[in-house]
């Protein structure tokens, strides 16, 4: 699947005002251009931001002066602009709520509260089903609306933006021609919003659409007060196709069932499911041996949709399981484990990486984006100890680590003489104090031992020292050069 982002970034200067015939009235009144300037932080030099880039997309106008876009449209945005396609009138906008996992964001004009008053907000078309005809709305660069018809084929629970988050997505067939500024496209059914088109493969002419069921979940969550996000179950599971395995688990012929192979601490299943359980039913839906349930509309779907896609945090989930050969019912409250609670942040948007510099040694909290610096094949190229920590965070969580602090590199300074080649080392203690997160680095750096910082690593060279007064002088000099020497929050 080719993401729209690869091809559709076209300079704003090509857009100019012109008058258009009203071809699909609600298209030009309900769809709005969203122009964002994005600038992510540099993970190697965390005190810097990288080069700015522009992303042009379309948003769906919603009631109450709001605009819905994908999260991908506004991640790391430094400047967001709404532009009326018909008049090219512009205003700045801000993000009200963003959910990177579901890939949705809600915007509103920053100052001009009446900016959208001449628009016609979308209503949500709640039911989508196979062979529905949808319209994808775009604009020619001169502002003329273009409508493309696509036909819904099926739905799948799969990743869209983050490779760790799976949500229901609808697939539709039919050619969609690119127009400028079409990073994401609202799609409509009977002039009501049916979803956001997030990716399109020109080879197969297949569009992936984030459907209204997920959008509605997102909007309802916002309306209910503080946004809590989609719940997560927090298990790893295996299929039970192997007949020998099924017999061993005492599964009957009519049973499906998935085998719980790992329960992650801190998410919904923690304390409620055990490794070795077999999940047979969720909220009355039978789970087959591949991990699917039968959805009334879409047929077989991964059971994840029953956990993430439909219920809200705080809802109770009911399951029929087999534990140690015994059939039983369990029910528990669904929660969402906040990403901040992960030992290694799975993603990092709209904030800089946390870091602290002592005399030229750069300390950072390990994150998946950092691991991804090792290239597309980071899973084989990144340092093995870091990959192992990522795959088995409990190795460190058991020791009380909140985060995994690594010394990413040593900027050559008089204080780091002899340490220039050290990099990506897991830090265990500084000045005798165990390091559990980046704040500990900063705190510990206040109490050097006899004027020297004592820094301990998990592996070779295990132990190094830094001159404390030289380090603080160098930190001041570095601050002159790079602005900041730490970001702890």
Partner 1 sequence: MTLMNSKPMNLDIKQLFFHLSLSLFISYSLSAEEKKESIIEKKNSNYEAVVRIENSSLNPDYKTPWNSGRDSGGNGTGWLVAENKFLTNAHVVSNSRIIYIKKVGDAKPYRARIVHIAHDCDLAMLELEDPSAFEGVKPFDVGKLPQLDTKVKVIGYPIGGERISITSGVVSRIDFLSYSHTNVDLHLTVQIDAAINPGNSGGPVIQGGKVVGVAFQGYSGNIAQNTGYMIPPPVIKRFLKDVEDGNYDHYVDLSMSDFPLLNPSQRIALGLPNDGIGIMVSNVEEDGSAGGILKTGDVLLEIDGLTVKSNGLINYGGEDVNMNEIVERKFAGDVIDLKIWRNKQPMNTQVTLKRFMPYLIAARKYDEKPRYVMFAGLVFQPLDRNLMAAHNMKSLQVRYHFDSYVSSNIYKERPEVIVLTSILPDSINSYFNQFTQSIVDKVNGVKVKNLKDVHLALSKNDGDYIIINLLGSGRPIVIEEGKIEEAQKRIQTKYNVIKDHYLGPIE
For 398-421, letters b (16+ CB in 10 Å) and e give eeebbbbbbbbbbbebebbeebee
Closest contact distance (angstroms) between CB of 372 and partner 1 is 16
DSSP label at residue 225: S
- What does DSSP assign to residue 202? T
Q: Which is nearer to partner 1, 159 or 381 (CB)?
A: 381
- The string of DSSP letters for 22-87 reads -SSHHHHHHEEEEEEEE-PBPSSSTTSB---EEEEEEEEEETTTEEEE-HHHHTTEEEEEEE-TTT
Say whether 355 sits in a helix, a strand or coil: strand
Q: Report, in Å, the least distance between residue 172 CB and partner 1.
A: 32
Phi-psi region of 211 (alpha: psi -120 to 50; beta: other; left: phi over 0): beta
* CB-CB contact of 370 with 385 (8 Å): no
Q: What are the DSSP calls for 448-474, one per residue? A: -BTTEEEEEESSTT-EEEEEHHHHHHH
Task: Find the binder of partner 1 among 236, 294, 328, 477 (CB under 8 A).
Answer: 236
Q: Which is nearer to partner 1, 421 or 446 (CB)?
A: 421
Binding of partner 1 at residue 376 (CB under 8 A)? no
Taking the complex as a whole, how short is the minimal distance between the CB of residue 373 and partner 1, in angstroms?
18
Contact with partner 1 (CB under 8 A): which of 242, 318, 333, 341?
A: 242
From 178, 227, 245, 349, residue interacting with partner 1 (rule: CB under 8 A): 245
* Chosen residue from 47, 100, 200, 259 binding partner 1 by CB under 8 A: 259
In angstroms, give the least distance from the CB of 166 to partner 1.
Answer: 19
Which listed range, 1-9, 203-211, 346-354, 465-473, lies at the site for partner 1 (CB under 8 A)? 465-473
Q: Is residue 271 near partner 1 by the rule CB under 8 A?
A: no
Distance from C-alpha of 62 to C-alpha of 294, rounded to nearest angstrom? 32
Number of residues that bind partner 1 (CB under 8 A): 44
Q: Which of 9, 467, 473, 484 binds partner 1 (CB under 8 A)?
A: 467
Min separation Cβ 467 and partner 1, Å: 4
Give the shortest CB-300-to-partner 1 separation in angstroms.
20
- Could you tell me the smallest distance in angstroms from the CB atom of residue 301 to partner 1? 22
Q: How many whole angstroms separate alpha carbon 406 and alpha carbon 362?
A: 8
**Binding track over 409-448 against partner 1, x by CB under 8 A:** ------xxxxx-x---------------------------
Residue 463 touching partner 1 (CB under 8 A): yes
Handedness of CA 106, 110, 112, 113 (dihedral sign): positive
Q: What minimum distance in Å lies between the beta carbon of 87 and partner 1?
A: 55
* Binds partner 1 (CB under 8 A): choice among 314, 338, 412, 461: 461
C-alpha–C-alpha distance, residues 403 and 368, integer Å: 12
Element holding 370 (H helix, E strand) = helix 368-371
Nearest distance, CB of residue 429 and partner 1, angstroms: 12
Is 451 near partner 1 (CB under 8 A)?
yes
Nearer to partner 1, 203 or 253 (CB): 253
Binding pattern to partner 1, positions 382-401, x when CB under 8 A? --xx-xx--xx---------
Residue 325 binding partner 1, by CB under 8 A: no
* From 465, 479, 482, 488, residue interacting with partner 1 (rule: CB under 8 A): 465
Q: Which of 117, 247, 376, 480 binds partner 1 (CB under 8 A)?
A: 247
Considering only 141, 205, 275, 331, the residue that binds partner 1 (CB under 8 A) is 275
**What CA–CA distance (Å, rounded) separates 52 from 54?**
7
To partner 1, the closest distance from the beta carbon of 412 in angstroms equals: 12
CA distance 472 to 402: 27
Q: Single out the residue of 29, 200, 207 nearest to residue 123, CA to CA.
A: 29
CB atoms < 10 A from the CB of 142, how many? 14
Stretch that binds partner 1, among 138-146, 259-267, 306-314, 476-484 (CB under 8 A): 259-267
Q: Which is nearer to partner 1, 111 or 247 (CB)?
A: 247
Compare residues 338 and 412 and give the one whose CB is closer to partner 1. Answer: 412
Contact between 38 and 76 under an 8 Å Cβ cutoff? The reply is yes
Q: Which of 226, 199, 1, 235 is nearest to 103 (CA)?
A: 199
Enumerate the β-bridge partners of residue 134: 150
Query: Cβ(1)–Cβ(208) under 8 Å?
Result: yes
Given 150, 172, 193, 260, the residue binding partner 1 (CB under 8 A): 260
Instruction: Please answer whether residues 157 and 137 qualify as being in contact, where contact means their C-beta atoms are separated by less than 8 angstroms.
Output: no
Residues of this chain that interact with partner 1 (CB under 8 A) are 236, 238, 241-242, 244-245, 247-248, 259-262, 275-276, 379-380, 384-385, 387-388, 391-392, 415-419, 421, 449-454, 459-467, 470
């Amino acid at each position: 699947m080719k993401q729209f982002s690869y091809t559709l970034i076209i300079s704003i200067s090509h857009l100019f005002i012109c008058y258009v015939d009203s071809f699909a009235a609600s298209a030009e009144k309900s769809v709005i251009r969203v122009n964002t300037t994005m600038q992510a932080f540099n993970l190697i030099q965390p005190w810097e931001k990288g080069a700015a880039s522009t992303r042009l997309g379309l948003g769906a106008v919603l009631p109450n002066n709001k605009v819905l876009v994908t999260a991908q449209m506004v991640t790391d945005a430094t400047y967001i602009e709404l532009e009326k396609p018909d008049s090219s009138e512009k205003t700045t906008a801000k993000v009200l709520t963003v959910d990177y996992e579901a890939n949705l964001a809600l915007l509103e004009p920053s100052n001009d509260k009446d900016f959208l008053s001449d628009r016609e907000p979308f209503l949500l078309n709640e039911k989508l089903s196979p062979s529905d005809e949808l319209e994808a709305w775009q604009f020619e660069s001169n502002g003329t609306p273009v409508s493309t018809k696509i036909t819904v084929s099926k739905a799948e629970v799969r990743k869209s933006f983050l490779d760790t988050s799976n949500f229901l997505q609808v697939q539709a067939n039919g050619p969609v021609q690119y127009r400028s500024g079409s990073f994401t496209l609202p799609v409509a059914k009977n002039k009501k919003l049916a979803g956001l088109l997030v990716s399109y493969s020109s080879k197969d002419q297949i569009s992936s659409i984030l459907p209204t069921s997920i959008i509605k979940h997102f909007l309802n969550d916002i309306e209910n007060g503080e946004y809590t996000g989609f719940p997560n179950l927090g298990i790893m599971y295996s299929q039970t196709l192997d007949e020998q395995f099924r017999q061993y688990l005492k599964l009957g012929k009519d049973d499906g069932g998935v085998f719980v192979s790992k329960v992650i601490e801190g998410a919904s299943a923690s304390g409620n499911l055990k490794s070795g359980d077999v999940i047979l039913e969720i909220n009355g839906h039978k789970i087959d041996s591949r991990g699917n349930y039968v959805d009334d509309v879409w047929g077989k779907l991964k059971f994840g949709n029953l956990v993430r896609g439909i219920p809200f945090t705080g809802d109770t989930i009911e399951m029929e399981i087999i534990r140690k050969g015994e059939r039983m019912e369990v029910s528990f409250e669904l929660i969402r484990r906040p990403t901040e609670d992960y030992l290694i942040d799975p993603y990092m948007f709209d904030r800089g990486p946390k870091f602290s510099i002592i005399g030229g040694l750069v300390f950072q909290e390990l994150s998946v984006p950092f691991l991804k610096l090792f290239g597309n094949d980071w899973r084989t190229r990144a340092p093995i100890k870091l990959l192992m920590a990522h795959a088995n965070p409990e190795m460190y969580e058991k020791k009380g680590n909140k985060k995994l602090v690594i010394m990413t590199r040593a900027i050559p300074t008089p204080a780091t003489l002899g340490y220039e080649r050290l990099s990506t080392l897991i830090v265990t203690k500084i000045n005798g104090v165990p390091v559990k997160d980046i704040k500990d680095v900063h705190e510990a750096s206040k109490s050097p031992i006899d004027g020297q910082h004592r820094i301990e690593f998990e592996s070779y060279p295990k132990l190094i020292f830094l001159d404390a007064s030289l380090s603080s002088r160098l930190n001041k000099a570095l601050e002159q050069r790079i602005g900041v020497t730490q970001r702890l929050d």
